[in-house]
Structure 1
Amino acid sequence: MTDLLRLEGVHTNIGRYHILQGVDCVVPEGQTTMLLGRNGAGKTTTLRTIMGLWPASRGTITLGGRRIEAMATPDIARLGVGYVPETMAVFSDLTVKENLILAARDGEMDAGRLDWIFGFFPALRKFWLSRAGSLSGGQKQMLSIARAVIEPRQLLLIDEPTKGLAPAIIGALIDCFAEIKRSGATILLVEQNFHVAQQIGDSVLVMDNGMIVHRGAMAELAADVPLQERLLGLSLEAHQ
């Protein structure tokens, strides 16, 4: 198995706060790796640091054998990295169509790719010419994910995609992520819904206090209630 992404001794400081304190981890190519941890553990900071939105103060980040920790965010995106932030960050004054055009290479959307996206998120077709700001929270999340996958990506960084969503929409997201993985993409996904994590995760990284404190198979963590309670403060069963 090849490691697509590798972090070694990564530290990130935000102002006077030392958030990441030596993150060491690998993300295997072609798998969905869950990044779990209590609130404030450093999960979002890890994704933002990989994406270059917050610079690493120390350590190395390697994507496909190429060091990226000093690269600008647009250059990292051009290497085939998509990012879905927790805030969704859609352009509210633009239509659904315009949001996707901005995310497409050279502003040209592939019709087949677009139909593939509509298969998971039919609401985007329905509201194609509507302003993104008028969409519901779940529809905005669909649009945020659609923007990240409008072009094939080798790596997707996704931050809490199911937060606050209805079960039917969560089901569509699970199907979408499974299909993305089957297409050959690698996913690093922060998720607080442990039922979702158990369903789609191949491997798992658990963070605490800005460091990785556990690495392993998602199925093994899902089967070990005492380990869940020690690492996360509660069992996965409590979130199902």
Structure 2
Amino acid sequence: MSDTPKNLLSLQDVHTHVGAYHILHGVNLEVPAGQLTMLLGRNGAGKTSTLRTIMGLWQASRGEIRFDGQPITRLPTPEITQRCDIAYVPENMGIFGDLTVRENLLLAARRARSLEQMDTQRLDWLFQLFPALKKFWLYPAGKLSGGQKQMLAIARAMVEPRRLLLIDEPSKGLAPAIVLNLVEALRELKRSGGATVLLVEQNFMVAKALGDRVAVMDDGRIVHSGAMAELSADEALQQRLLGLSLAAHQ
């Protein structure tokens, strides 16, 4: 019997048009259950567009998206979130700046209408991952630093168990020390089990540290997929696919 994990999410020949622009050109992507898959590529390659298409924010014009074997290509975004238990952390974080940290997390906890109904064990786990959230529990989210806002955005996605997390460039613009904290939190998420992650990232050391699998995009297509460890060890392949070497970032 094969030990290869089942694919929780798959895209087959997915095309996306936005107005007159043909953005995705036949994306084929597999995201194995229980693993963290990195989606890499140069700026403008189509990574964010892929996440938006999966979430139904942009409609695929051709091809099929399947979640746990079921087609979701034509589902509206709220139904994808609720039915499939998918959480999306966009590049702009999507937090509510006028609300406190507590209120942001409560809004994301779909099964709770008050703080008393929230899963306190899970909250304590999030506080261990992101101590700043406990410290600034009653602060307006808009007054947090960039790194704290990113932590809040990811915590919102994790405040309830989710089958799939889509995270778009979490380390973008963050100081190196904050990036290290973020990497450690995502490692803990991996260790905790149960969640599958598709992570778009431009920081290749983050990719190397976290990725189980990797898919590389160029011009709206997947041009490489495989084990992250294999890409990390092959400088010639890194140069060809990404235009730089991971070794240069160590």
Q: Same fold (TM over 0.5)?
A: yes
Question: Partner of 2:224 in structure 1?
Answer: 214
Normalising by structure 1, we get a TM-score of 0.97
CA distance in structure 2 between the aligned counterparts of 1:61 and 1:179, rounded to whole angstroms? 29
Tell which deviates more after alignment, 137-146 or 70-79.
Answer: 70-79
Displacement after TM superposition at 1:166 (Å):
2.0
CA distance in structure 2 between the aligned counterparts of 1:41 and 1:74, rounded to whole angstroms? 26
Question: Partner of 2:6 in structure 1?
Answer: 2
CA distance in structure 1 between the aligned counterparts of 2:203 and 2:248, rounded to whole angstroms? 10
Residues 33-182 of structure 1 aligned to structure 2 (within 5 Å) = 33-78=37-82, 79-107=84-112, 108-182=117-191
Displacement after TM superposition at 1:237 (Å):
2.2
Question: Partner of 2:16 in structure 1?
Answer: 12
CA distance in structure 2 between the aligned counterparts of 1:93 and 1:106, rounded to whole angstroms? 22
SS at match of 2:111: helix
Query: Match of 1:136, as an amino acid?
Result: S
Question: Partner of 1:201 in structure 2?
Answer: 211
CA-to-aligned-CA distance 1:147-170 (integer Å, 9 cap, x gap): 000010111000000111122222
Query: Match of 1:114, as an amino acid?
Result: L
CA distance in structure 2 between the aligned counterparts of 1:181 and 1:120, rounded to whole angstroms? 12
Question: Partner of 1:29 in structure 2?
Answer: 33
CA distance in structure 2 between the aligned counterparts of 1:128 and 1:94, rounded to whole angstroms? 11
Displacement after TM superposition at 1:80 (Å):
1.0
CA-to-aligned-CA distance 1:56-76 (integer Å, 9 cap, x gap): 111100000111111111111
How many aligned residue pairs are there? 240
Question: Partner of 1:187 in structure 2?
Answer: 197
Query: Match of 1:217, as an amino acid?
Result: A
Displacement after TM superposition at 1:214 (Å):
0.2
CA distance in structure 1 between the aligned counterparts of 2:196 and 2:150, rounded to whole angstroms? 20
Query: Match of 1:229, as an amino acid?
Result: Q
SS at match of 2:187: helix
Residue 238 in 1 paired to residue 248 in 2?
Answer: yes
Instruction: Give the gaps of 5 or more residues in structure 1.
Output: none
CA distance in structure 1 between the aligned counterparts of 2:234 and 2:118, rounded to whole angstroms? 45
CA distance in structure 2 between the aligned counterparts of 1:187 and 1:23, rounded to whole angstroms? 18
Normalising by structure 2, we get a TM-score of 0.94
CA distance in structure 2 between the aligned counterparts of 1:239 and 1:84, rounded to whole angstroms? 26
CA distance in structure 2 between the aligned counterparts of 1:2 and 1:98, rounded to whole angstroms? 36
CA distance in structure 2 between the aligned counterparts of 1:129 and 1:150, rounded to whole angstroms? 17
CA distance in structure 2 between the aligned counterparts of 1:81 and 1:109, rounded to whole angstroms? 19
